């Protein structure tokens, strides 16, 4: 049995350092190609997104007829396939444009990175100008004029995709969208269409009504996937990612069920599957079992909390540390008053300003909203109201992390 031999080599016979990597490298008991489970991988087809793909294609077909496609806003929570669908349709559009001799440019930007008006314009310029525009420093007007001039040099249709557009708007306002949605007035040869993708369903609240009406000419909604749909999405990758027969039958349904509870997030489903496999691999196992999916779920949740804790402001870190310190002592709920006492001591030790009771209570509520702790308001009769605090986070990892960072 080839598989068996490979496992034995990896786990047992590393007695010499010679060929260390080679031996580990050859252990391939679980995965055939792990890369297809990563977020960067674009699958060849996208089950359960036919409606959205068709809607998008119906709007963009205008580009082939050398007309301006309507502007579009696309909404859906993270992991509902928005980016994957847009990239897929964009690729198809560019492919077919050669056949119909239509000059179409499909420009994709992620506004998590390209998050200011300047960066958006500089990025666009760099798509069309021969000379590169610096990434800071020019006046915005000059940048815009250069872009118009270079863009309008030949006849074409340009589709500009602003992915994670909610991040751009929250950080830098909607000026750039106002300008871009009116850009066709300044152009003679070129027709521009704007496509905005948002993870936040309420992001239009941040927009000027004029921007909403021009950007939202068409709307495409990406609903969350249910467990059955997520199973289909996973099954498609399983064949490519895993060796035959290494998954226990319940693994895929369990990953799908967990991710369905997590707002139908395909990314989460894929992460669960990948991490389950990695855990099995690290243990030198030949089967991925249900138990590893549960371990993967815990690991992913813990990692998420650690990431959130890392980015907390210093005062919140101190408050969280106080809570964890108190949790050490007994298992019952912790009261705001107790937290405040410990917090005040810690402030002295770290020479940080002591915030008011009220402010500390607000920050505790914020920790609750981030899902790091649970705080329940209880009435203490004539002593007023207090919060009972519970925490279920990876206690030692978080406490060690905080200790390193604040003390």
Residues that bind ligand ADP (CB under 6 A): 39, 42-43, 46-49, 76, 78-84, 233, 266-267, 270
Judged by CB, which is closer to ligand ADP: 60, or 122? Answer: 60
299 binds, among Mg ion, ligand ADP, none (CB under 5 to 8 A by kind): none
47 binds, among ligand ADP, Mg ion, none (CB under 5 to 8 A by kind): ligand ADP
Judged by CB, which is closer to ligand ADP: 49, or 325? Answer: 49
Judged by CB, which is closer to Mg ion: 224, or 333? Answer: 224
93 binds, among ligand ADP, Mg ion, none (CB under 5 to 8 A by kind): none
At its nearest, how many Å lie between Mg ion and the CB of residue 161?
11
Judged by CB, which is closer to Mg ion: 36, or 85? Answer: 85
255 binds, among Mg ion, ligand ADP, none (CB under 5 to 8 A by kind): none
133 binds, among Mg ion, ligand ADP, none (CB under 5 to 8 A by kind): none
At its nearest, how many Å lie between ligand ADP and the CB of residue 167?
12
At its nearest, how many Å lie between ligand ADP and the CB of residue 153?
33
Judged by CB, which is closer to ligand ADP: 165, or 309? Answer: 165
At its nearest, how many Å lie between ligand ADP and the CB of residue 281?
20
SS (H, E, C) the chain: CHHHHHHHHHHHCCCCCCCHHHHHHHCCCCECCHHHHCCCCCCCCCCCCHHHHHHHHHHHHHHHCCCCCCCEEEEECCCCCHHHHHHHHHHHHHHHHHHCCCCEEEEEEECCCCCCHHHHHHHHHHHHCCCCCCCCCCCHHHHHHHHHHHHCCCCEEEEEEEECHHHHHHHHCCHHHHHHHCHHHHCCCEEEEEEEEECCCCHHHHCCHHHHHHHCCEEEEECCCCHHHHHHHHHHHHHHHECCCCECCCHHHHHHHHHHHCCCCHHHHHHHHHHHHHHHHHCCCCCECHHHHHHHHHHHHHHHHHHHHHCCCHHHHHHHHHHHHHHCCCCCCEEHHHHHHHHHHHHHHHCCCCCCHHHHHHHHHHHHHCCCCEEEEEECHHHCEEEEEECCCCHHHHHHHHHHHHC
120 binds, among Mg ion, ligand ADP, none (CB under 5 to 8 A by kind): none
76 binds, among Mg ion, ligand ADP, none (CB under 5 to 8 A by kind): ligand ADP
At its nearest, how many Å lie between ligand ADP and the CB of residue 80?
4
Using alpha carbons only, how large is the chain's radius of gyration in Å?
26
Check: CB of residue 74 under 8 Å from CB of residue 220: yes
Of all residues in the shown chain, the one whose CB is closest to Mg ion is 83
Beta-strand pair 334-335/385-390: antiparallel
At its nearest, how many Å lie between ligand ADP and the CB of residue 337?
42
Judged by CB, which is closer to Mg ion: 83, or 361? Answer: 83
Check: CB of residue 343 under 8 Å from CB of residue 360: yes
Judged by CB, which is closer to ligand ADP: 115, or 360? Answer: 115
At its nearest, how many Å lie between ligand ADP and the CB of residue 44?
9
270 binds, among ligand ADP, Mg ion, none (CB under 5 to 8 A by kind): ligand ADP
Check: CB of residue 374 under 8 Å from CB of residue 391: yes
Of all residues in the shown chain, the one whose CB is closest to ligand ADP is 81
Residues in touch with Mg ion (CB under 5 A): 83
At its nearest, how many Å lie between Mg ion and the CB of residue 82?
5
Judged by CB, which is closer to ligand ADP: 233, or 402? Answer: 233
């Amino acid at each position: 049995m080839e598989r068996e031999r490979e496992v034995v080599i990896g786990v047992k016979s590393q007695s010499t350092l010679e060929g260390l990597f080679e031996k580990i490298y050859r252990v391939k008991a679980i995965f055939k190609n792990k890369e297809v489970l990563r977020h960067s991988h674009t699958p060849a087809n996208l089950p359960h997104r036919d409606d959205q793909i068709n809607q998008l294609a119906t709007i963009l077909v205008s580009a082939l007829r050398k007309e301006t496609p309507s502007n579009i806003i696309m909404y859906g929570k993270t992991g509902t396939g928005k980016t994957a669908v847009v990239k897929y349709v964009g690729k198809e559009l560019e492919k077919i444009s050669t056949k119909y001799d239509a000059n179409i440019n499909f420009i994709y930007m992620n506004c998590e990175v390209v998050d200011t008006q300047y960066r958006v314009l500089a990025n666009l310029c760099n798509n069309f100008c021969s000379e590169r525009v610096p990434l800071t420093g020019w006046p915005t007007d000059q940048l815009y004029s250069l872009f118009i001039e270079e863009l309008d040099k030949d006849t074409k249709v340009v589709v500009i995709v602003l992915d994670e557009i909610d991040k751009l708007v929250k950080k830098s306002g909607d000026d750039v969208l106002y300008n871009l949605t009116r850009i066709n007035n300044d152009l003679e040869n070129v027709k521009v269409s704007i496509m905005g993708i948002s993870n936040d369903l309420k992001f239009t609240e941040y927009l000027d009504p004029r921007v909403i009406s021009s950007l939202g000419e068409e709307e495409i909604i990406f609903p969350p996937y249910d467990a059955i749909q997520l199973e289909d999405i996973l099954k498609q990758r399983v064949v490519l990612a895993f060796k035959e027969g290494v998954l226990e039958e319940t693994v895929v349904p369990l990953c799908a069920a967990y991710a369905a509870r997590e707002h139908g997030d395909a990314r989460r489903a894929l992460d669960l599957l990948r991490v389950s496999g990695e855990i099995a691999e690290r243990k030198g196992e030949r089967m991925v079992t249900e138990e590893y999916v549960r371990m993967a779920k815990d690991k992913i949740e813990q990692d998420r909390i650690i990431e959130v804790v890392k980015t907390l402001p210093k005062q919140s870190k101190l408050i969280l540390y106080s809570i964890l310190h108190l949790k050490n002592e007994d298992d019952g709920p912790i009261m705001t008053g107790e937290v405040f006492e410990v917090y005040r001591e810690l402030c002295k030790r770290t020479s940080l300003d002591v915030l008011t009771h009220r402010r500390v209570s607000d920050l505790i509520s914020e920790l609750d909203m981030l899902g790091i702790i649970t705080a329940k308001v209880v009435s203490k009769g004539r002593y007023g109201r207090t919060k009972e605090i519970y925490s279920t986070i990876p206690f030692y990892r978080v406490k060690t992390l905080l200790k390193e960072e604040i003390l």
